[in-house]
Amino acid sequence: MGSALAVSLDPSQNVKNGDGVSVTIAYNTTEKCSAIGWLDKEQTAGKKFPFLFSQCQPIYARSLAPLQDTPSVKITYSTNVRSTLPALCSALRVSPPSESIHDGKRIGEEVVEYKYNQPIAIPSYLIALASGNLVYKPFDPLPGKSWKTGCWAEPETIDATYWEFHKDTAHYVELAETLVTPYEFGVYDVLVLPPSFPYGGMENACLTFLTPTLLAGDRSLVDVVAHEASHSWFGNNVTTADSGHFWLNEGFTTYLERILQGELHGSAEREFSYIIGRKALTDALKGYEKKPKYQRLVIPYTFGEDPDDAYSSVPYEKGSNFLLYLERQLGGLQVMLPYLKDYVNTFRGQSIRTDQWQKHLFKYFSQNGGKEKVDTLNKIDFEAWLHGEGLELPAAVEYDTTLAQKAYDLVKAWSDSRSTPPSDLKFSESDLKDFSSNQIVVFLETLQSLSPPLPGSHLQYMSKAYPSFNTTGNAEIRSRWYGLVLESEDTDVASEFAEQAAKWVVGTEKGSTGLKGRMKFCRPGFKSIHKVNGDLAIKYFEANKQYFHPIAAKLISKDLGLSK
């Protein structure tokens, strides 16, 4: 997926083997550049200026610049960007400073040159650019730390962005470097993008991109930042050598993210995150029953195969569950944390594959545990974990259900009420008054797994008893609610909610917070709507396709059967 760039050397220059050669390449992108999302001003929060942002992972940097677009090759880069709108890159800013990013010029009218330098070699998928009406707000510096943190957003959302992330961001980075190795990138800023950004977050070096769906107003979704910050060690530092071993990036990152949650909020919170993630893993594994190789941790891609076709929760959740299983078999966190530190120190700045990880794992524990630990590792079915297919994990992984119990109890109350006429049901919004957002998520996910499912009449009653499910700005809750009602066996109930869900996804409902361009929400949303009413799903997608990022639009089109 790409072609060679051949550079002919001038014979008259008498260049010899070993000589240094400087080559300048002139190039430009086209309207087919899949790495770039171009937004009209109407698609932004302020609706005053257009916006641009890149997304190079997994294989789109090749559409942005002529380079070796593989994570097995790491590069440093510097860039001068000339723009009438502030421009941010995944690098250290040389000039102008963050606090005067407009450089005294009239925004949208006068050109400013923005200079950046990334001195640490990174994979090409971490090259990033964003430009729009952006402002900066620094987070409070931590004593004794040389690195800085802050946030970027449009002026209309900067205060909400600052409130949501200022409390925890620096502490995630500080705790991670305490547990693993020092943070190396100098700056850790977050940028909240317009709604068409297709991911929850993207760990671009020095500048994490975030979806506006995280601005829940209660800091309930900020652990996405814990995940993206953890990539500073797993992905940005120790990197998968190719997409077939993507779990080395995401499994390790999710594992560290949840360790951070446990350190900051208690071990029950860490285990609770695994409970939430398990439903996403089950759904992803079921979704690949016709392509079972995508159920594996190590995926044997064929030549020309698009790694985006395998993008799912599998490398995140199956990978982190594998590491949690290893942790428990080897003796707990007190054993695994020193191992993580040695792993990063051993492979710092390198791109590796799973066999290299496995050899290091055995070598480390043979030197730091001896025969007992090696015997333990030899009893683990690595083949099943790494190359196995199917809907179940190769070994049972149990979780502390302390924080989930309230949700389970309420599910049981609903399940026990199946034979009760809706007119006699006694549920009300007060049932949820002591629930956190994540506990509501577990409640809805557990309802989805009931067999047999709740009657459609009960779901209609639930819609009235818990009206916030239809109006909440928390996309994690709303997406689960629509997933529940649209999968109802009562086709009348499913049809009743189909158009409401479509309007929520494309951002046209009254009081909408905007398009749900994050693929975690738009892809399952359109899939569920399509099962209920295929014509409706296609109508809403076709009418709004131009507002989605090219990556999301391509995959939704496949999901709806509009392309192969």
Close Cβ partners of 215 (under 8 Å, ≥ 6 residues apart): 157, 160, 161, 164, 192
- Could you say which of 228, 263, 269, 476 is catalytic? 228
Give the neighbor-by-neighbor strand order of the sheet with 148-153: 135-138, 148-153, 187-192, 207-210, 201-202
172 is annotated as contributing to ligand binding: no
The reply to whether 1 sits in an annotated binding site is no
- Answer yes or no: is 203 a known binding residue: yes
- Residue spans in the chain of domains classed CATH 3.30.2010.30: 36-216
Q: Is 55 annotated as a binding residue?
A: yes
What are the tokens at 396?
Answer: 């049972």
**Rounded mean pLDDT, 100-128:** 94
Instruction: Give the whole-number percent of the chain exceeding pLDDT 70.
Output: 100
Does residue 1 carry a pLDDT above 80?
no
**Does residue 231 have a known ligand-binding role?**
yes
Residue 349, annotated as binding a ligand: no
Q: Is 480 within any annotated ligand binding site?
A: no
Location of each CATH 1.10.390.10 domain in the chain: 239-301+311-387
C-alpha to C-alpha distance for 440 and 476, rounded to whole angstroms: 9
- Encoding tokens for residue 80? 């001068």
- Could you tell me the two tokens for 17? 């083997």
The confidence band for 218, taking pLDDT boundaries of 50, 70 and 90, is confident
CA distance 109 to 177: 42
Largest CA distance in the chain: 93
CATH class, domain 239-301+311-387, is: mainly alpha
Third-level CATH fold of 36-216: Zincin-like (3.30.2010)
The answer as to CATH 1.25.40.320 being correct for domain 405-559 is yes
Q: Does the annotation mark 228 as catalytic?
A: yes
Residue 399 among the catalytic residues: no
DSSP per residue, 161-208:
HHHHHTTTHHHHHHHHHHHSS---SSEEEEEEPPTT--SSEE--TTEE
Half-sphere exposure of 126 (CA within 13 A, CB side): 31
Residue 203 and residue 236 in contact, taking contact as beta carbons nearer than 8 Å: yes
Q: State yes or no: pLDDT of 527 exceeds 90.
A: yes
Whether 519 has a binding-site annotation, put simply, is yes
Q: CATH 1.25.40.320 in the chain: give the residue spans.
A: 405-559
Catalytic residue among 294, 316, 461, 540: 316
Name the pairing type of β-strands 239-240 and 351-352: parallel
Query: Which pLDDT band holds residue 523 (cuts at 50, 70, 90)?
Result: very high
pLDDT tens, position by position, 257-285 = 999 999 999 999 999 999 999 999 999 99
pTM, whole model, 2 decimals? 0.91
In this predicted model, what pLDDT tens digit does every residue of 115-148 receive, in sequence order? 999 999 999 999 999 999 999 999 999 999 999 9
Q: From CA 122, how far away is CA 557, in angstroms rounded?
A: 32
Task: Specify the pLDDT at position 332.
Answer: 96
The band of 103, judged by pLDDT with boundaries at 50, 70 and 90, is confident
Q: Do residues 170 and 330 touch, judged by C-beta distance below 8 A?
A: no
